[in-house]
Structure 1
Amino acid sequence: MSEVLFLAHRIPFPPDRGDKIRSCHVLRHIAALAPVHVACFADDETDLGHEPELAALAASHCLVRRTRSLPVAGLAALATGKPVSLTAFADDALHAYVARVLAERPIAAIYVFSGQMAQYVPASFAGRVVMDFVDVDSAKFEAYAKSGGFAARTLYEREARLLSRFESRIARRASVSLLVTPEETGLFRARLSDGDEPVLQAMCNGIDTEFFDPQDVPGALEMAGEGPQITFTGQMDYPPNVAAVEMFARDVMPAIRAVIPDARFNVVGRAPAPAVRALDGVHATRVTGAVLDVRPWVVGADLVVAPLTIARGVQNKVLEAMAMARPVLATPQAATGIAARDGFELVVAEGAEALARQALALLHDPVRSATIGQSARAFVLRECGWNHVLAPLAGLLGLGDTGGGARVAA
């Protein structure tokens, strides 16, 4: 029986952040198709604590605690001429595990989740390689370079340049490369260096519509006596999220509270950076830090916002809020890749003034907000279930037919 090797830069458990949500559902889907061997990293002791879940799903696995700091990886990368992203995820134990699995097991395909892990695919491997870039990392570093100081800008520009070359090379090595949206696919294609045209496809993110069901949320928040609740969710040490909540708290909330004085802004998510923690209490902003379950904060919100100015791929936070029938106000960057209609299934606005204006319009019209929320859930149920999204994987891995009808676009 054909088997699959799955490589990921982070253990897919628990599926509580964007990359883990996608990798976890992909891994589970592959495990239902064939025995799967998994090589991945743990960021910390909490990640290591989820090894039993990985062991229960995988035919074999290698989980390595990643201890090399970014400064150390940066120095090594400068010495070798490699991207920092690759150096930070280089590990001898993982290389040895991959070599052993390929030598001992009938591996027909390798699924590579995130570009950093492509360094573990041997040039000699003759089976299928599915490279899931998710989004274009090199473009993200280019965006970071535009807002940093001289030293940061120099490092980000170097990373973007080297990573772009690497992305181009491994896309041509792969049987097929996946991006999370048609827009990311087009961006990746436009950035390719000269050479053979690789096979690129878009495989969108999905949503667990049973878990994100507004009718089945334990401990839904009751904010009696408080005014309208505006909520942002996400990993709060991620620079685009940090920039988004800083802008909303400092530039948008004053305009909202000038009209609705008791409106509150909830920033919900783990590991808030110092700049995020400093927002607690600023213009009625509440920074929660990690919560056991994000759903009560979402279903208890009058409005969910995603005011990102730098965004790659599909924002799971947007789809999750839509699945929970909440009205979502998003920037064009945060709405990219979601084929919902502006004004019907979500609302799109750009800039602090427009965001404040649209937020006030939605908060003043609860009937329209509820209608948008219900339409949003109907859209997610129709278009974004994981089984529907992942149906092509069997065919991409050479394990069977594609299942037809799924959302994969060239």
Structure 2
Amino acid sequence: MNYNMRILFLIQCFPFPPCDGISVKVYTLIRHLASKGWGCDILCFGNHDAGLRVAEFEKIAAGVKVRAVIPLPSTLERAFGTLSSLLKGLPPSFGGFKSRRFRAALEKISAETGYDAAHYDVINMAQYLPFGPKVPSVLSSNDAISLFYSGMIKECSGIFRKAYLRLSAWLIRRFEAAYYKRFDKVHVVSEADAAHLKNICPEINLEVIPLVVDKAFIDYKPQREHGQGKDAVRIVFTGNLAIPGIANGLFEFLDNAYAELLSGASPFEFHILGPNASPEDEKRVLAFPGVKYLRWAKDYKAFLMTADIVLVLDKSGTGIKNRVLEAMAFGKPVVGTKIAFGGIAAENGRHCFISNSPQETGAELKSLLTDTALREKIGASARELILSSYSMAALGPQWERLYKDIIPQKS
């Protein structure tokens, strides 16, 4: 097969500019394929300012055509959609993306010819498979979502929240088992996610391709450390504090290791970028001396660039953590849990420091705080790993093979 393919991408949120792990993956993928001469059409959901971003995206990515951007369902529509999904035994998150307008647009596009494959991005788009073009299909699930929910259940404390998560996990697992095998290929980002899905349904045709880092991080030129020539080294923690596994990991460290680290001879600044924290958690964070807390950073890259050490303390989760890849791409030494480095081929003590307890985290931070050369060495090794294994230059050919491999199955 030596012709350039044409792919229809169904996406739950317009991917430009990329603002989270999901949009970074699909944005970098589409740009890569377009640079190879492939046709990439997009049907997606988006908000009121999507029109301006569509024009800019199509300008910088020749070969990309945005077929339509459909408004997200209203609050009332989402409520009815969630209820409808539950009554049908489908994952409740489908309700947020259940849209007659999206379905109608998809059916109109599907009546056309010329597509070689259809790419459904993340589980919420899988519900549209019956209405998509009758061509080979790829579901890019990223993670094994039922496994992700199982981890959240362990970290969640509220009775009703646990009950909702258990119901969601059961419905998602059932959907994964019954529906994923209908796709010609299902993409996940780690072997752990693939093993979980294979255990659920051995018939799923799985492909593991890691996440890639946004080119803006790849193109970053390493600069002098923030801490060099200054009184204090800066430690930065990032993570959505609405996620129990992230918040619990942070507070375990603060409760059990922060005071000892603070009493050491080496001065440091501790900055927490933790969006979506509850008022109680925000108060709890600010009660610790010396902590500087931010709800949001307008320019995340600029904020991350000020870090000398990055801390990622997730206690639950699946797949690959995009914020870990981004920090490593910036040449920052990262200290984190085993889960934080899940799916990343990082060697402890060479590319990063992996801790098994708050006390270990404190000890590793203490070593980095007092040793500039160690920070530079770990950061440089981390960046080399990203460039060699987690850039689109490294992983783009795997995506090309994924699409090409499924075409003969239905030719």
Could you say which residue in structure 1 is the equivalent of 2:53? Answer: 50
What is the alpha-carbon distance in structure 2 between the residues aligned to residue 97 and residue 398 of structure 1?
26
Whichever residue aligns with residue 139 of structure 1, its letter is L
- Where in structure 2 are the equivalents of 1:118-137 lying within 5 Å? 118-122=126-130, 125-137=133-145
Could you say which residue in structure 1 is the equivalent of 2:396? Answer: 390
The answer as to whether partners of 1:5 and 1:37 remain within 8 angstroms in 2 is: yes
Could you say which residue in structure 2 is the equivalent of 1:179? Answer: 188
> 2:22 matched to 1:16?
no
> 2:116 matched to 1:108?
yes
The answer as to whether partners of 1:17 and 1:235 remain within 8 angstroms in 2 is: no
Query: Which range moves more in the overlay, 256-265 or 315-324?
Result: 256-265
Whichever residue aligns with residue 322 of structure 2, its letter is N
> 2:298 matched to 1:292?
yes
Could you say which residue in structure 2 is the equivalent of 1:313? Answer: 319
Judged with a 3 Å threshold, the aligned counterparts in structure 2 of structure 1 residues 265 and 71 are, in CA distance, closer, same or farther, namely farther
Whichever residue aligns with residue 40 of structure 1, its letter is C
Could you say which residue in structure 2 is the equivalent of 1:41? Answer: 45
- Where in structure 2 are the equivalents of 1:224-303 lying within 5 Å? 227-235=232-240, 237-260=242-265, 262-268=267-273, 271-275=276-280, 277-278=282-283, 279-280=285-286, 282-303=288-309
Judged with a 3 Å threshold, the aligned counterparts in structure 2 of structure 1 residues 54 and 300 are, in CA distance, closer, same or farther, namely closer
Q: What is the SS of the residue equivalent to 1:59?
A: strand
Q: What is the SS of the residue equivalent to 1:286?
A: strand
Structure 2 counterpart of 1:191, from 200, 205, 209: 200
Judged with a 3 Å threshold, the aligned counterparts in structure 2 of structure 1 residues 283 and 8 are, in CA distance, closer, same or farther, namely farther
Could you say which residue in structure 1 is the equivalent of 2:92? Answer: 84
| Deviation of the 1:359 alpha carbon | 1.2
Write out per-residue CA displacement over residues 267-307 of structure 1, whole angstroms, 9 at most, x where no aligned residue: 23655554553324633222223323323333332211111
Judged with a 3 Å threshold, the aligned counterparts in structure 2 of structure 1 residues 85 and 336 are, in CA distance, closer, same or farther, namely same
Whichever residue aligns with residue 172 of structure 2, its letter is L
What is the alpha-carbon distance in structure 2 between the residues aligned to residue 252 and residue 98 of structure 1?
53
What is the alpha-carbon distance in structure 2 between the residues aligned to residue 316 and residue 52 of structure 1?
27
Could you say which residue in structure 2 is the equivalent of 1:142? Answer: 150
What is the alpha-carbon distance in structure 2 between the residues aligned to residue 214 and residue 4 of structure 1?
30
| Deviation of the 1:144 alpha carbon | 2.0
The answer as to whether partners of 1:249 and 1:265 remain within 8 angstroms in 2 is: no
Q: What is the SS of the residue equivalent to 1:85?
A: helix
Q: Which runs of 5+ in 2 are unaligned?
A: none
Could you say which residue in structure 2 is the equivalent of 1:340? Answer: 346
> 2:221 matched to 1:215?
yes
What is the alpha-carbon distance in structure 1 between the residues aligned to residue 193 and residue 235 of structure 2?
29
Q: What is the SS of the residue equivalent to 2:10?
A: strand
What is the alpha-carbon distance in structure 2 between the residues aligned to residue 84 and residue 48 of structure 1?
29
Could you say which residue in structure 2 is the equivalent of 1:166? Answer: 175
What is the alpha-carbon distance in structure 2 between the residues aligned to residue 124 and residue 37 of structure 1?
13
What is the alpha-carbon distance in structure 2 between the residues aligned to residue 305 and residue 286 of structure 1?
14
The answer as to whether partners of 1:362 and 1:369 remain within 8 angstroms in 2 is: yes
What is the alpha-carbon distance in structure 1 between the residues aligned to residue 363 and residue 225 of structure 2?
28
What is the alpha-carbon distance in structure 2 between the residues aligned to residue 30 and residue 91 of structure 1?
28
Judged with a 3 Å threshold, the aligned counterparts in structure 2 of structure 1 residues 71 and 144 are, in CA distance, closer, same or farther, namely farther
Q: CA RMSD in A?
A: 2.9
Whichever residue aligns with residue 114 of structure 2, its letter is P
Could you say which residue in structure 2 is the equivalent of 1:360? Answer: 366
Query: Which range moves more in the overlay, 100-109 or 343-352?
Result: 100-109
What is the alpha-carbon distance in structure 1 between the residues aligned to residue 251 and residue 73 of structure 2?
30
| Deviation of the 1:398 alpha carbon | 2.8
Judged with a 3 Å threshold, the aligned counterparts in structure 2 of structure 1 residues 105 and 266 are, in CA distance, closer, same or farther, namely farther
Judged with a 3 Å threshold, the aligned counterparts in structure 2 of structure 1 residues 92 and 385 are, in CA distance, closer, same or farther, namely same
Judged with a 3 Å threshold, the aligned counterparts in structure 2 of structure 1 residues 272 and 11 are, in CA distance, closer, same or farther, namely farther
Write out per-residue CA displacement over residues 177-214 of structure 1, whole angstroms, 9 at most, x where no aligned residue: 1110122211221233xxx6221110111224663455
The answer as to whether partners of 2:146 and 2:169 remain within 8 angstroms in 1 is: yes
What is the alpha-carbon distance in structure 2 between the residues aligned to residue 81 and residue 385 of structure 1?
38
The answer as to whether partners of 1:135 and 1:313 remain within 8 angstroms in 2 is: yes
What is the alpha-carbon distance in structure 2 between the residues aligned to residue 50 and residue 267 of structure 1?
30
Q: What is the SS of the residue equivalent to 2:369?
A: helix
What is the alpha-carbon distance in structure 1 between the residues aligned to residue 211 and residue 280 of structure 2?
29
What is the alpha-carbon distance in structure 1 between the residues aligned to residue 246 and residue 280 of structure 2?
11
Judged with a 3 Å threshold, the aligned counterparts in structure 2 of structure 1 residues 166 and 289 are, in CA distance, closer, same or farther, namely same
Q: Which runs of 5+ in 1 are unaligned?
A: 402-410
| Deviation of the 1:399 alpha carbon | 8.5
